Amino acid sequence: MKRRGFVAGAMGLGLGGLAPSPGWAQEFPTKQVRVIVPYPAGGGTDIVARLIVPRLAERWKQTVIIDNKGGASGILGSEIVAKAPPDGYTLLIMTSAHTINPFTTKTLPYNTERDFTPITPLVEGTLALVGSPKAGFDTMAKFMVAARANPGKYAYGSTENTTRMVGELFRLRSGLKIENVAYKGAAPMLQELAGGHIPVGFTSPLTAMSHHRAGTLHILAVTSGKRLSVLPDVPTMAESGVPGIDQWAWFALFGPGGLPPALATRIRNDVVAVLAEPEVKARIATLASEPGGEPPDKFAQRVKAELATWQGIAKEAGIVPE
C-alpha cells in the first residue's frame, strides 16, 4: 500500500543513537518518533491517531510521524512494530483486532503477546451496526424484518477482525443467514454503505458519527448494555431483539516487545495528560467514546484475558483461521 504520512509537531534537536543514560526514559524522545496506524486514512484508528499524536508531539517537542500502513486487518502494519527496536521510537496504534487476529489468521508474522508491549488504551467505546438509507435501511427494525424474510440475501460489512467477530456474534445470536463482506478499513466500507452497495456494516460509532449526523448513513443499534447519551434514539442490540452482544472495543498504543517498563510508563503518563485536555475530552465524548489511560501492566492483563475470550467466540462461530 502506498505510504501515507502525517507529521505532527516541530523537529527537535536531540541526538539519536547515543547510549542511554540512567534517566533516559525521562529524556525520551531525543529524535523523531514514528507511529504506525495499520489501517487506511479516514477510519477510526486514523481519527484517534490524529487527535492524540499531534498533542504528544507538542509535549515531546519532537516530530512524530503518523504512518498509515493498512492491510490484513492491521497485521501488515503491526509486523513493522513487532520487528522494531524496543526503544520507543516506533509505536503502534491498534484496534481490538490485535486480540482476535490470532484466531482468524493461520500464520501471523509475530507472536501477539511476546512481540508487543501494551502501553495504554487511547479511546474505548461500543460498536455499532450501521445501515444504508440508499439500500432502504434507516432503522434496525426494517433490517431485521427484511433479513428474516429473505435468508441469505443480505450481507454485512466489516472493517477488520473486531467488527468481523462482532458480526459473527450478531449472526449467531440473531439466527439470521447473512454473510460477511470484509473491507480493508472503515473508510472504504462507509463509502460502499453510503452508495447503497451493501445494506449494513459493523464499525465504531466514532467512525460513523459524522455520516450519521449528516444523514448519509444511520447507526441502527449499538453493542453496549445501555443506550449512548449522544445517541439516545439508537437502541441497543438487546432492545432490538438480539441479546448477548455486549461488546466494547479499543484503540490502543503498543510498543515493540521488550520495551522497558519505565519507558512504557513514561509514554502512558504523557498520553493520560493529553486525554485530560478539555478539548480532547470533549472531542472523544462527541464521538460516542470514552478516554483510555489504563496503566501498562493492567492493560497487558486485559489483552491476555481478551485473547482467551475471543478464542472461545471464534470456536463457537466455527471460524477456521485462513
- Distance between CA 207 and CA 192 in Å, rounded? 14
214 lies in some domain: yes
281 lies in some domain: yes
Alpha carbon distances (Å) from 307 to 100, 117, 281: 7, 15, 29
239 lies in some domain: no
Look at residues 103, 106, 110, 157 and name the one whose alpha carbon lies nearest to residue 130. 157
Q: What is the pLDDT of residue 104?
A: 93
24/121 same-domain check: yes
Among 5-9, 156-160, 289-293, the range scoring the smallest mean pLDDT is: 5-9
DSSP label of 134: G
Residue 3 φ/ψ, nearest 5 degrees: -70, 135
112 lies in some domain: yes
**Where in the sequence is the domain holding 167, given as residue range(s)?**
128-222
Cell of 321: 483461521
pTM of the model: 0.85
Rounded to the nearest integer, the mean pLDDT of the chain is 91
Last residue of a domain, one of 222, 237, 264: 222
In DSSP terms, 92 is beta-bridged to: 36, 254
Last residue of a domain, one of 222, 239, 272: 222
15/33 same-domain check: yes
Asked if residue 68 has pLDDT above 60, the reply is yes
Residue holding cell 438509507?
133
140 lies in some domain: yes
241 lies in some domain: no
101/189 same-domain check: no
- Distance between CA 50 and CA 107 in Å, rounded? 31
Asked if residue 162 has pLDDT above 80, the reply is yes
Residue 65 φ/ψ, nearest 5 degrees: -95, 130
Pairing of strands 128-131, 200-203: antiparallel
218/278 same-domain check: no
- Distance between CA 16 and CA 108 in Å, rounded? 31
Encode 161-204 in three state secondary structure. HHHHHHHHHHHHHHCCCCEEEECCCHHHHHHHHHCCCCCEEEEC
Domain count, the chain: 2
CATH for 203? 3.40.190.10
231 lies in some domain: no
43/155 same-domain check: no
pLDDT tens digits for range 16-62: 343 344 466 779 999 999 999 999 898 899 999 999 999 999 999 99
23/168 same-domain check: no
CATH for 309? 3.40.190.150
89/161 same-domain check: no
